[in-house]
């Protein structure tokens, strides 16, 4: 996607061979591009959310393995790198998927061949992510077209939660890809952007994306979504996912479950942008089986913003001594999901539907 008319990806290798990423901690107020030069920096970038979003976490981990193979391609280094990077974020399944894919590619090779093979596979993973998300957008575009036709030219109002945009992937995004495709096709769309406490990725990232791309949008507090649905102002909800179970339960940023409940109560279709690497075929009951990351309470008690003097700073919003809980994700049961927007088409959020659409991937996971 473009920033001020210049196309960007979220992660890339420059002409000197250095991996560069957009450090998302400073958006929307400052665009910082930083290099990642060794395994420790890749681990920090993932853990401290310089990069975030399940697909981008996976792509970053793949490049982390590639850079480490250039420094030390030994068996011990490959195994240790898998462990070091895997422990950075426990919920997003793309992280494990990418690390397993890199290990599968590299382990059979002699160490002397691993650096080149790792760089090639990491670049392929990035390109594959872009195409997956492009296809998700094309399938979602069909649904937006149908709603637009029924509305007779009035804007299609879409609510989204957190950031499942191009900043959460290598490009296009998952939940935002249909929105971008609709906008490019000339279909009038309007987006309600949840602020998404506690880290405010909706306010800071999704709103920045919409603004940069010229898509009409309104930032709303997280608790406003149900009210808007009650009054008929939301035509559809599209969210992303960090892990989806074999039966269609969806783990996404905390607050997604409440949006799904409000959508069901008000007859609003609730869709999930699902790239297939985000399916965890080993897990069936998302509520019981998916590990939910508990992040620092300071993300709840403090907020980051730009002060009147232009500096970016954190301020405390709670009393001294008040503890905070910070579960980063929740699980939306499959029965609340209208459909899963995948690169292969619209899939029912059921075990039979997912098994039919992704029979090959399910079989591979079981092998």
Known catalytic residues are 242
Nearby residues of 206 by Cβ (< 8 Å), 6 or more positions away: 160, 162, 163, 164, 165, 176, 191, 193, 196
Do 53 and 11 meet the contact criterion of CB atoms below 8 Å apart?
A: no
CA distance 89 to 58: 10
**∠ CA(217), CA(263), CA(159), 5° rounding?**
10
Given a contact cutoff of 8 angstroms between Cβ atoms, the answer to whether 323 and 255 are in contact is no
> Is 61 strand, coil or helix?
helix
Q: Buried b vs exposed e over 94-120: b needs ≥16 C-beta within 10 Å?
A: bbbbbbebbeebbeebeeeebbebbbe
* Virtual torsion, Cα 21, 25, 26, 27, nearest 10 deg: 80
Asked if 62 and 103 touch (Cβ cutoff 8 Å), the reply is no
CA atoms within 13 A on the CB side of 166: 26
Q: Which residues 6+ apart lie within 8 Å of 211 measured at CB?
A: 28, 217
Q: What is the DSSP string of 169-220?
A: SSSS-SSSHHHHHHHHTT--EEEEEE--TTTTHIIIIIHHHHHHHT--EEEE
Which tokens hold the place of 71? 């420094």
CA–CA distance, 219 with 154 (Å, rounded to integer): 20
Write phi, then psi, for 116 (nearest 5 degrees). -65, -45
d(CA 84, CA 81): 5
Query: What is the number of alpha carbons within 13 Å of residue 281 lying toward its C-beta?
Result: 16
């Amino acid at each position: 996607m473009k920033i001020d008319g210049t196309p960007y990806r979220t992660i890339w290798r420059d002409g000197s061979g250095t991996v560069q990423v957009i450090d998302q901690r400073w958006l929307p107020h400052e665009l910082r591009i930083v290099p990642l030069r060794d395994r420790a920096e890749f681990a920090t970038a993932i853990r401290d959310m310089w990069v975030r979003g399940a697909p981008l976490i996976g792509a970053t981990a793949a490049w982390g393995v590639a850079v480490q193979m250039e420094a030390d391609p030994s068996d011990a280094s490959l195994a240790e790198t898998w462990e070091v990077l895997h422990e950075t974020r426990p919920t997003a399944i793309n992280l494990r998927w990418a690390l397993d894919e890199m290990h599968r590619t590299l382990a059979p090779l002699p160490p002397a061949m691993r650096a080149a093979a790792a760089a090639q596979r990491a670049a392929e993973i990035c390109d594959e992510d872009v195409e997956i998300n492009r296809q998700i957008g094309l399938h979602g575009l069909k649904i937006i077209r149908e709603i637009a036709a029924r509305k007779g030219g009035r804007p299609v109002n879409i609510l989204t939660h957190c950031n499942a945009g191009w900043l959460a992937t290598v490009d296009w995004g998952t939940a935002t890809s249909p929105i971008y495709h609709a906008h490019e096709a000339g279909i009038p769309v309007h987006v309600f952007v949840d602020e998404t406490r506690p880290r405010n990725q909706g306010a800071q990232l999704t709103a920045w994306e919409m603004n940069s791309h010229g898509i009409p949008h309104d930032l709303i507090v997280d608790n406003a979504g149900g009210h808007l649905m009650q009054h008929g102002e939301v035509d559809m909800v599209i969210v992303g996912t960090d892990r989806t179970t074999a039966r269609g339960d969806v783990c996404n940023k905390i607050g997604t479950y409440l949006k799904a409940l409000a959508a069901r109560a008000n007859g609003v279709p609730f869709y999930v942008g699902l790239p297939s690497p985000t399916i965890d075929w080993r897990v069936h009951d998302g509520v019981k089986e998916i590990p939910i990351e508990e992040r620092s309470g300071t993300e709840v008690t403090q907020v980051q913003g730009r002060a009147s003097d232009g500096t970016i700073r954190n301020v405390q919003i709670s009393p001294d001594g008040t503890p905070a809980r910070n579960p980063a994700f929740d699980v939306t049961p499959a029965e609340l999901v209208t459909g899963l927007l995948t690169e292969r088409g619209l899939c029912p959020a059921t075990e039979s539907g997912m098994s039919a659409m992704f029979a090959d991937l399910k079989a591979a996971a079981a092998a």
